[in-house]
Amino acid sequence: MALIVQKYGGTSVGSIEKIMAVAKKVIELSKKGDRLLVVLSAMAGQTDALINLSRQITEIPDPRELDVLMSTGEQVSISLFALAVKSLGYNCCSLLGFQASICTDQTYGKARIKQIYTDRIMEELEKNSIVTIAGFQGIDEGKNITTLGRGGSDTTAVALAAALKADVCEIYTDVEGVYSADPNLCANAKKLDKISYDEMLEFASLGAKVLDVRSVEFAKKFNVPIHVRSSFTENGGTMVVAESKEMEKILVSGVVSDKNEARITILKIPDKPGIAFAIFDPIFRANIVVDMIIQNTSADGITDLTFTVPKPDFQKTMGLVKDIAKKIGASDVIGDEDIAKVSIIGLGMRNHAGIAYKMFQTLAKENINISLISTSEIKISCIIKEKYTELAIRALHDSFGLGNEK
Amino acid sequence: MALIVQKYGGTSVGSIEKIMAVAKKVIELSKKGDRLLVVLSAMAGQTDALINLSRQITEIPDPRELDVLMSTGEQVSISLFALAVKSLGYNCCSLLGFQASICTDQTYGKARIKQIYTDRIMEELEKNSIVTIAGFQGIDEGKNITTLGRGGSDTTAVALAAALKADVCEIYTDVEGVYSADPNLCANAKKLDKISYDEMLEFASLGAKVLDVRSVEFAKKFNVPIHVRSSFTENGGTMVVAESKEMEKILVSGVVSDKNEARITILKIPDKPGIAFAIFDPIFRANIVVDMIIQNTSADGITDLTFTVPKPDFQKTMGLVKDIAKKIGASDVIGDEDIAKVSIIGLGMRNHAGIAYKMFQTLAKENINISLISTSEIKISCIIKEKYTELAIRALHDSFGLGNEK
């Protein structure tokens, strides 16, 4: 008898019909004798509708009260799901964050799960009930409702799987798994049967929207096997698991692209200690997330510094940086929104030279200029002009032989 | 410094604009130094929308899960209200049933408040916060969400006022108070400045929809002064308070009508012990609320029995009663949906004869036939044909001189 945690995203429970379909699917599984814990997101569109309500009041909503509002979305899904299961004649019990004792810190809107007390969940499971739990929400020490941020339901599911020592955490979504490339770009993109947590972290950070980064970090920490799969087929998806020897044989698992960044370069900065801090301090204070940062070796005591920020923060950051540039005596600031990041990911890179060489060669062959490069042990990212994104992805996918046989 | 509990109904918070208006009103009051606890209903239409969602799944929803669903309505209102108050620069904190420790029994859908632990509320009030609390919901011993049934937010407000020993519980609604008659029927209907709990109980039970009956019972028990008033004007409304000597001087306070009942008569029942039980047992078991019951004195060992039920339960009750009639050897069952109940209410009736006489005389003058009569110490109700309702109300209102001077 296995204990399975399943998580269904907003599109999987986006209508009463879809909720009924998930209920039937879960019941079929439970008939086989497995114990099931079902984590749900808010019905598709619901979260945006609630945000829209709050925006009609204020653009800067109080974070505590916004969480009280937002958490109703998942409350509606789990109660409807439980009604559906019970209407079909099976036991079901819904639990909200405070009932399932999903204890978090007090960072409203982006809370971190600190502890889950599983007594109540176990009690309900032992009644042979299907237990459904609101994703995305928790409770702090003062009994205040917190939410975990976008994608938080993935984290709820993985954290529950860890706390309950579940056999697997299945993440149901609208795609069939993690692919060697976006199937919309590469017709022969291959579904990956198995990847490591670290690769999944890179996929998630670099723009593949399959799993929330924090949930993967959590899974890695507690060694929870994740199965990413589709709600709409019975096909197996992608297993995200601890690294194994044979995984290193695969040099490159996939290529991903991200058009959501913009580049900013500060020219001719006097190269003195404390300059990087002076530049980034006001940007961090404005809660802007800086991704790549590259500083050239100093020549004659002056240097250039380039970094990327999310596109929606571009104008704001340019404003801040122009002020700083003046203060520190830099000559100019140039920005470019017309960029994209293409990355290749693979555990095997660690032990094999030549992967970067092949990547640069492939892009060069297509006459695509690289304006920034950043690497980690298991990924290489290049910033290129946005219009070349699809071309670059297809060329890299082909040259590394990632697709299915044609 | 007074402590005031205010309750706003669904129409008072039916849109973002109205929520903002309530927020401004509450802030103005709090500036005068009073401490304010604001109980809200779900936004108008929201409760029906949620019921409709559940109906798309099942006609007989599981009561526990239905309460989880329904309670989101008030959660949305209080979070939006708190966002509004905070966006205007004032402290505010929303509390749900489980946070405000509104402890109930486990009767899902119609729970009774057993106890309120006020520590958290007091803590927030002492921070000079306006505290807003979700009406209609509570929490049982097992941390399950319960709801109090339609009109439950009135009860939440009164119970909180009792627990906190508040100076007054103000119920804001879309009418200006309790009237001597429905102002839509009698143009000169008079707003009552002050009535007793017992009179209010009769008004509420007999069809005036201003206050929920249970909230009045609660207020009577704990001697909480209720002020029923309009959200849309600054005028004083109706105070509902403990009985005082001078109240008895008023013979009749008001007239009310209710078209929501149907009448059933069982003819020629053998008059034996246990017959009433045999008749009503299956009806009570079907959760049908019987209002008036009248049995004529037995003649020759047979008797007739008449009672009224809510119109929506009429067909179902007829079915049950026809079965019973056969079993007990009654001759026939006749039903009538085409009826209305008109009632006069007044504390003074207790000590004054002639009130009933005047009521019957007034109806007779208008040629209105009375088919059932029931009385309590402070009210007289008559069942008449539905089409005469408005005529009867106007005639009674005039003959007892209840209206404003014309």
* pLDDT tens digit sequence for A146-198: 999 878 999 999 999 999 999 999 999 888 899 999 999 999 999 999 999 99
Angle, to 10 degrees, between the axis of helix B46-57 and the axis of helix A72-87? 30
Q: What is the DSSP string of B176-215?
A: SS-BSS-TTT-TT--B-SEEEHHHHHHHHHTT--SS-HHH
The Cα–Cα gap between B230 and B237 comes to 7
pLDDT in tens, A256-300: 999 999 999 999 998 888 888 889 999 988 888 898 888 877 778
Mean pLDDT value across residues A44-66:
95
Interface contact flag, A16 B53, Cβ < 8 Å: yes
Say which of A62, A79, A83 has its CB closest to residue B58. A83
Q: What is the pLDDT of residue A117?
A: 97
**pLDDT per position as a tens digit, B300-314:** 888 888 999 999 999
In terms of pLDDT, which residue wins out, A278 or A389?
A: A389
Q: Find the distance separating the first CA and the last CA of chain A, reported in whole Å.
A: 41
| DSSP-derived pairing of the beta strands A332-336 and A238-241 | unpaired
pLDDT at A27 over 90: yes
Residue type for B153, please?
S
Confidence of residue B124 (pLDDT cuts 50, 70, 90): very high
Sort out which chain A residues have CB atoms less than 8 A from B20's CB and list them: 57
- Per the CB < 8 Å rule, is A83 touching B93? no
Reported confidence tier of residue B273, pLDDT bands at 50, 70, 90: confident
**Residues belonging to chain B:** 406
Q: What confidence score (pLDDT) does residue A406 get?
A: 61
Task: Name the CATH superfamily for B3-174.
Answer: Acetylglutamate kinase-like (3.40.1160.10)
Name the minimum distance, in Å, from the CA of A278 to any CA of chain B.
Answer: 33
CA distance B250 to A157: 65
pLDDT single digits (tens) A113-133: 999 999 999 999 999 999 999
Chain A hits for B57, CB-CB cut-off 8 Å, are: 16, 19-20, 80, 83-84, 87
d(CA A219, CA A240): 9
Query: Percent of chain B having pLDDT more than 90?
Result: 76
Above pLDDT 70, what percent of chain B? 100
B365: number of Cβ within 10 Å: 10
Chain A residues within an 8 Å CB radius of B19 = 57
What is the distance between the alpha carbons of residues A234 and A131, in angstroms, rounded to a whole number? 22
Q: Testing the interface with B: which of A47, A52, A65 to mutate, by most B Cβ within 10 A?
A: A65
Taking the C-alpha atoms of residue A283 and residue A288, their distance in angstroms, rounded to an integer, is: 6
> What is the distance, to the nearest Å, from the Cα of residue B351 to the centroid of all Cα atoms in its chain?
27
Share of chain A above pLDDT 70, in %: 100
Closest by Cα among B64, B62, B18, B60 to B42: B18
Closest CA–CA distance from residue B10 to any residue of chain A (Å): 16
- Return the pLDDT at A174: 83
pLDDT at residue A62 above 90? yes
Predicted confidence (pLDDT) per residue in B59-95, tens digit: 999 999 999 999 999 999 999 999 999 999 999 999 9
Separation of alpha carbons A306 and A321, rounded Å? 11
pLDDT at residue B229 above 90?
yes
pLDDT of B300 = 81
Distance (Å) from the C-alpha of residue A167 to the closest C-alpha of chain B? 28
pTM assigned to the model = 0.87
Q: How would you class A73 by CB atoms within 10 Å of its CB: exposed for 0-12, middle for 13-18, buried for 19 or more?
A: buried
Q: Residue B209 has what pLDDT? A: 75
- Give the residue extent of every domain in chain A: 3-174
CB contact under 8 A, A82 and B65: yes
| Nearest one of B92, B366, B51 to A61, comparing CA atoms | B92
Please determine, for residue A208, whether its predicted confidence score (pLDDT) is greater than 90: no
Contact A56 B16 (CB under 8 A): yes
Say what the pLDDT of residue B289 is: 87
CA dist B347 and B241 (Å) reads 13
Residues of chain B with C-beta less than 8 angstroms from the C-beta of A54? 80, 83
| pLDDT, average across residues A103-111 | 94
Q: In this structure, are residues B372 and B306 in contact, taking their beta carbons and an 8 Å threshold?
A: yes
A92 Cβ under 8 Å from any chain B Cβ:
yes
**Alpha carbon of A60: minimum distance to chain B alpha carbons (Å):** 8
CB contact under 8 Å between B79 and A96, yes or no, is no
Query: For the residues B167-194, what does the mean pLDDT come to?
Result: 93
ipTM of the complex: 0.86
Contact A20 B57 (CB under 8 A): yes
Beta strands A238-241 and A226-230 are antiparallel
* A-B C-beta contacts closer than 8 Å: 114
Residue B406: what pLDDT?
61
Q: Give the model's pLDDT for residue A21.
A: 96
